[in-house]
Amino acid sequence: MTSKRWQATALAAAGLLGVPLVVGNPYILHVGIFLLMYVALSSSLNIVLGLAGQPSLAHATFLGVGAYAAALAALRLHWPYWVNLGFGGVTAALLGLIVGLPSVRVRGHHLAIVTIGFAQIVRLIEINWDRLTSGPMGLPGIPTATIASRPFGRIGFYYLFLLIAGATLFVVNRISRSRIGRALAAVRDDEMAAEALGVDTRYYKVYAFVISTFWAGVCGAAYAHYMTFVSPDSFTQADSTTILCMVILGGSGTLFGPVIGASVLALAPELLRFASGYRYMLVGLVMVVAVIARQSGFDRLWKRTAAMLGRLLPFGLRGRLHRNG
Amino acid sequence: MSTVLQHTINGLTLGTIYALMALGYSMVYGVLYFINFAHGDVAMVGAYLWVVVLMGKMGLPSGLAILLSLILTAFIGIMIDRIVYVPLRRAPRLAMIISSLGVSMILSTGAEVVFGVFQQPVPAIIPNKIFRFGGAVMNLHHLIILLVSLVLMVGLQLLVYRTKMGVALRAVSFSRETAGVMGIDTDKVTSFAFGLGSLLGAVAAIMVGIYYGSIYPTMGATIGIKAFTAAVVGGIGNIPGAMLGGLLLGVLESLAGAYISSGYRNAIAFSALVIVLLFRPFGLLGSTGRGVDRA
């Protein structure tokens, strides 16, 4: 990284760190927290989808698994929240390993189906295993996170999610610039050629699933302690689809694409609140128009904007890891 | 024994509905090589047009209303293709998938706003008549659903293999470029696939309404996810595969619900399908050939 990029990174970090000091409005902080959560989720999905080229339609499920793991650890075992963050991540990663294994044999749309099937199974377990998850009622009363025996509050959680989002982006950046990242790119672009060149494609595909789901699980654990309530309805197929759209709309495989996608799709419903019932219609419209505009003619404009942003943003969109598409 | 028969009949009825819906996914996949996630929602709009607009508001007789709603749904499918997907013909498939998810969102939330989120009761248009055989009970509407589905599936098979449009469809599916060079109007063929797929989806959605006695705005997503699974498990792009996948999913779901656990019926059906894919990664009737490989 050049010194200029370091400066830009430091500037952005300082700006984000300063937000809670300036903004007192709890609603805006709450939106900010969710925005950061979606940044972390879309960036972690980017590892599987963008870097390794494997479709996953179950990312919200891993968020849910991490949240349930943390909630149960907190309620039944009285573990402190910081242990639960790791516990949620590890539990989700273990399930990520199980979902990743079929990717060794199953590809493309078929793999997408396997992940959907898995998501449905986990959701039904959450609903039906009453003794463990208390079913559709969910698990209320999860203790909030504390620091020096004082509760976090919104500001504390803002920083926690900022930390998680930053860590996820850092991991994506490090992976993509390493030997592992090149191996994943090889698997994505031409699996057969990668294998012929001696890349252990099975290992790297499963690796991508495990790392990606770990961060989703950490997010889930933080979510559980923030909301103090989890239920099967918080982690649905629609949420997984939304996260997928964030990654693709922003540009999968790029470092900042998912961040932009998450910002657009997480803020759109909030900005469109004036439209009340119609707002998700408008969100859908935004998606369709964005894709078409980007495809026909807008392409150059988009590239120019991206190049301009690249000069302003840390790491830069120029750090994009492959051609888009 | 008779209860096994009973659950199999229920499963087959449900399965033919899934199969009809799965055909829509498969047909569009066949010509454009992408999964049209808006398909389930287009079908849902068809069911709403029938119950609420044509029968409810305009007071048309049910038969005529069904016919009109099918035509309208086919038209909606074609219009969506023309407006949303035609500009994306040269775009990467991911772009098409995202825009189809956007269309799905517009349609399902649109239906929630226009028709309300609650379940809409469907008038019983088929008299409640019961047939008994071999200890199993079969309602008249089960029978009609099975028959209509069978006729439509056989008709589709004939259309694809015995008509000029069918030849064109298969040609475009095999290679869009070559088909275009040979003088086939590929956009017309694609529109036809969208129109017919949406029509079959609307038939499926109307049947779901008759079967359960109600329709709701998210039904498109609920049935869509199963139909989409059925299409992929059968071998996507493959018409007999879509039928086989649908029937298999319906029967599995019904038997698992009856004999293993009703709460986990969908989980069991989905696990079985995941296992099928592990052993047949391209679906039951899919081949590793062109098309599937492009997934």
Is B257's pLDDT higher than 60? yes
Mean pLDDT along residues B246-257 = 90
Q: Do A325 and B92 touch (CB under 8 A)?
A: yes
Domain count, chain A: 1
Q: Do B87 and A295 touch (CB under 8 A)?
A: yes
Share of chain B above pLDDT 70, in %: 97
Mean pLDDT along residues B125-134 = 80
The kind and range of the H/E element at A307 are helix A298-312
Beta carbons within 10 angstroms of residue A78's beta carbon: 8
Lowest mean pLDDT among A15-19, A35-39, A71-75: A15-19
CA distance B175 to chain A (A): 20
What backbone torsions phi and psi does residue A229 show, to the nearest 5 degrees? -155, 135
Provide, as residue numbers in chain A, all residues whose Cβ is less than 8 Å from the Cβ of B28.
Answer: none
Mean pLDDT along residues A26-48 = 92
Residue of B98, B106, B292 lying closest to A249 (CB–CB): B98
Provide, as residue numbers in chain B, all residues whose Cβ is less than 8 Å from the Cβ of A237.
Answer: 221, 225
Q: What is the pLDDT of residue A320?
A: 45
Distance CA B232, CA B228 (A): 6
Are the C-beta atoms of A84 and A69 separated by less than 8 Å?
A: yes
* Confidence grade of residue B292 (pLDDT, cut at 50, 70, 90): very low
Distance CA B147, CA B20 (A): 12
Provide, as residue numbers in chain B, all residues whose Cβ is less than 8 Å from the Cβ of A114.
Answer: 274, 277
Find which of B39, B96, B109 to mutate to test the A interface (most A CBs within 10 Å of its CB): B109
CA distance B70 to chain A (A): 24
| Arithmetic mean of pLDDT over chain A | 84
Q: What is the pLDDT of residue A11?
A: 81
The answer to whether residue A196 sits within a structural domain is yes
* Confidence grade of residue A238 (pLDDT, cut at 50, 70, 90): confident
Give the residue from A165, A267, A172 showing the smallest Cα distance to A218: A165
Do strands B136-139 and A146-147 pair parallel, antiparallel, or not at all (unpaired)? unpaired
Lowest mean pLDDT among A137-141, B117-121, B198-202, B259-263: B259-263
Lowest mean pLDDT among A72-86, B78-92, B181-195, B279-293: B279-293
* Confidence grade of residue B138 (pLDDT, cut at 50, 70, 90): confident
Partner B, chain A 14-43, Cβ-Cβ below 8 Å: none
Domain span at residue A55 reads: 3-319
Mean pLDDT along residues A186-210 = 90
CA distance A116 to chain B (A): 9
Predicted-complex ipTM score: 0.80
* Confidence grade of residue A12 (pLDDT, cut at 50, 70, 90): confident
Q: Do A296 and B87 touch (CB under 8 A)?
A: yes
Contacts of A79 (CB under 8 A, 6+ apart): A73, A87
Q: What is the pLDDT of residue A60?
A: 94
CATH code of the domain in which A307 resides? 1.10.3470
Q: Compute CA B20 distance to the chain's CA centroid, rounded to the nearest angstrom.
A: 4
Judged by a CB distance cut-off of 8 A, whether residue A301 touches chain B is no
Contacts of A20 (CB under 8 A, 6+ apart): A29, A154, A155, A158, A159
Q: What is the pLDDT of residues B212-231, one digit of tens each?
A: 889 999 898 888 888 988 88
Partner B, chain A 233-272, Cβ-Cβ below 8 Å: 237-238, 241, 244-245, 248-249, 252
The answer to whether residue A325 sits within a structural domain is no
Q: Which residue has the tokens 């129109």?
A: B195
Provide, as residue numbers in chain A, all residues whose Cβ is less than 8 Å from the Cβ of B229.
Answer: 113, 116-117
Q: What is the pLDDT of residues A57-95, one digit of tens each?
A: 899 999 999 999 999 999 889 898 889 999 999 999 999
Contacts of B36 (CB under 8 A, 6+ apart): B24, B25, B28, B29, B100, B197
Give the residue from A112, A105, A102 showing the smallest Cα distance to A45: A112
The answer to whether residue A103 sits within a structural domain is yes
CA dihedral of B168, B171, B177, B180, whole degrees rounded to 10: -20
Is B20's pLDDT higher than 80? yes
Q: What is the pLDDT of residue A317?
A: 41
List alpha helices for chain B, DSSP H. Answer: 2-32, 39-48, 62-80, 93-115, 140-162, 164-174, 176-181, 186-212, 219-234, 239-259, 265-279
Give the residue from B271, B230, B172, B181 showing the smallest Cα distance to B26: B230
Provide, as residue numbers in chain B, all residues whose Cβ is less than 8 Å from the Cβ of A277.
Answer: 109, 112-113
Q: What is the pLDDT of residue B1?
A: 60
Are the C-beta atoms of B198 and B46 separated by less than 8 Å?
A: yes
Is B58's pLDDT higher than 80? yes
Mean pLDDT along residues B31-57 = 90
Q: What is the pLDDT of residue A316?
A: 39
Give the residue from A108, A16, A81, A111 showing the smallest Cα distance to A218: A81
| Arithmetic mean of pLDDT over chain B | 87
Residue of B84, B112, B232 lying closest to A110 (CB–CB): B232
Judged by a CB distance cut-off of 8 A, whether residue A54 touches chain B is no
Share of chain A above pLDDT 90, in %: 30
Is A299's pLDDT higher than 60? no
The kind and range of the H/E element at B131 are strand B130-133
Residue of B221, B263, B274 lying closest to A128 (CB–CB): B263
Provide, as residue numbers in chain B, all residues whose Cβ is less than 8 Å from the Cβ of A112.
Answer: 35, 232
Provide the terminal-to-terminal Cα distance of chain B, rounded to the nearest Å.
42
List alpha helices for A150-278, DSSP H. Answer: 153-176, 179-189, 191-196, 201-227, 237-250, 257-271
CA distance A180 to chain B (A): 24
Mean pLDDT along residues A158-170 = 92
Residue of A109, A278, A325 lying closest to B295 (CB–CB): A109
Q: Do B281 and A107 touch (CB under 8 A)?
A: yes
Mean pLDDT along residues A169-198 = 90
* Confidence grade of residue B89 (pLDDT, cut at 50, 70, 90): confident
Distance CA A85, CA A145 (A): 11
Is A325's pLDDT higher than 70? no
Find which of A49, A101, A120 to mutate to test the B interface (most B CBs within 10 Å of its CB): A120
Is B53's pLDDT higher than 60? yes
The answer to whether residue A150 sits within a structural domain is yes
Q: What is the pLDDT of residue B15?
A: 92
Lowest mean pLDDT among A142-146, B5-9, B206-210: A142-146
Tokens in use for A295?
């495809």
* Confidence grade of residue A312 (pLDDT, cut at 50, 70, 90): low
Q: What is the pLDDT of residues A242-287, one digit of tens each?
A: 898 888 888 888 888 889 889 888 888 888 877 777 777 887 888 8
User: Which CATH number applies to B2-294?
Assistant: 1.10.3470
* Confidence grade of residue B129 (pLDDT, cut at 50, 70, 90): confident
